[in-house]
Amino acid sequence: MNINTIGILNKCNMKYITLICCMCLLLNINIFPQKSIDYNSVNYSFIGYYEDKPVYQFYPSDDNLSGGLKNKLYYPVLKENLTINNFDILNTIVNSSITYLNEDIKLYYASKVIEISYDGQTHLILKGERIRREVAYSKFDSIVTFPVKGGVASFLVLFNLSTKKLINIPLIGMRPSFNKDYLYFSSHHICDWYSVYTEDVYRVKIGDWNNPELVLENVDPGNWFLIPESNVIYADILEEQGKGVLYNADTRSYKIVDAIYGDRVIKYKGEYYYELKPNNKPISYRPVNLPSEYPQKDDRVLCPANKKRYFNLSNSQKPFTGTFINNELLYNAPEATLNKLDKEELRLLRNAFFARQGYQFKSDDLQEFFRQFEWYNELLKSYKVLEITNEDVVISPKDKERVELIMKIENRK
């Protein structure tokens, strides 16, 4: 074949290539390889709702797979079998530091600065603190809560949207969820028998922050969540592989179910679904169907009382037996009654609020007085395990009001 013949063939090939490219453009077919975006479930995190749709944030495990889309927000696109096969980008919200999203509020966290946006304004909540990206919102009570990290433990804080105030509450916990009148959360389950920490699940009536209630003990870490609009918890508490339980917090009984490999319930088109996130597979949803009965009582062999470290005790578990201090005097006594106490009694009464939260006193007389209570000594031991210091100890807003009143009377003596 001579050179002229080769030249003619090359011209023909170029014409065909040009024709093919034009056809592909018309048909929107991409014939050139591009860097693919990894749709692995682990790279998408649910952060809330917008326009009544669940919203996910794309945060790839490998930045090389991000394609410039890191931290972008997306709506899920589901197949008929409730598997997410695609995401539609949400272009109306572009702030990459968003941590929680709802129709009413947006919470941002970046460089240890926490801000919340609602009613057209942005408010600084906290600065210089580390938080766990676990946010709960009660629209009915107009409060948002999230855990602030300490040493080993995390502490729940509230932001009141009505008063625009941050509220410290005396709860050591994480993974908060609101349901009707209750805030559910978990904390470390520490037993001298175990080589690792598991979790205990608590609930507390909104506003009654001094009286948390232990609901479920010794749960596999992170493997529990609340079913919305119910007092039912999905949890992994069984040794049997591939099985979990739906636990009724009111009846303290459960029903065994197939394991749910996810950590939340999603509301999609008005219905509730378990969000399933198997590794290296697309996210899928499974309808939530609660049983009519919970036949199994929790008869597991749990940690003996003398081997367990205690946190989040209610006031009823921290009495000042054998002394003049009681709940009536602490919370209900009017100023006239408190005025009858001498200065030393007022000092002890005032510090009783802090003792109940595990404050370690430096004064010899206060140490001697409060160390007569076994629950106080146990709290100090437990706090040492979680590296909780006096700087971490807070009292509830109700307690703070009483402390201020008692101090005012004390200063007049």
Query: Which residue is it, tokens 């109940």?
Result: 356
Q: Provide the token pair at 178.
A: 């609101």
- Count other C-beta atoms under 10 Å from residue 201's C-beta: 27
End-to-end Cα distance, the chain: 116
Q: Work out the number of other CB atoms within 10 angstroms of the CB of residue 87.
A: 20
**Which of 238, 287, 160, 254 minimizes the C-alpha distance to 246?**
254
- What pLDDT, on the 0 to 100 scale, is given for residue 6? 37
Tell me 83's DSSP state.
B
Cα angle value 42/47/49 (rounded, 5°): 130
The fold of 315-412 is Methane Monooxygenase Hydroxylase; Chain G, domain 1 (1.20.58)
Nearest to 272 by CA among 237, 226, 236: 226
* pTM for this predicted structure: 0.87
- Tell me which residue of 312, 400, 390 sits closest to 350, measured CA to CA: 400
* pLDDT value of residue 5: 41
Cα torsion 70, 149, 135, 176: sign: positive
Q: List, run by run, the mean pLDDT of 10-residue segments along the chain (413 residues).
A: 41 45 42 44 85 86 55 86 87 75 88 89 90 91 92 92 94 95 95 87 97 96 95 94 95 96 93 90 93 95 87 96 97 96 97 98 97 96 92 95 97 90
Domain ranges of the chain: 1-32, 315-412
CB 249 within 8 A of CB 237: no
Provide the b/e sequence for 158-194 (b: ≥16 CB within 10 Å): bbebeeeeebbbbbbbbbbbbbeebbbbbbbbbbeee
Per-residue pLDDT, 94: 63
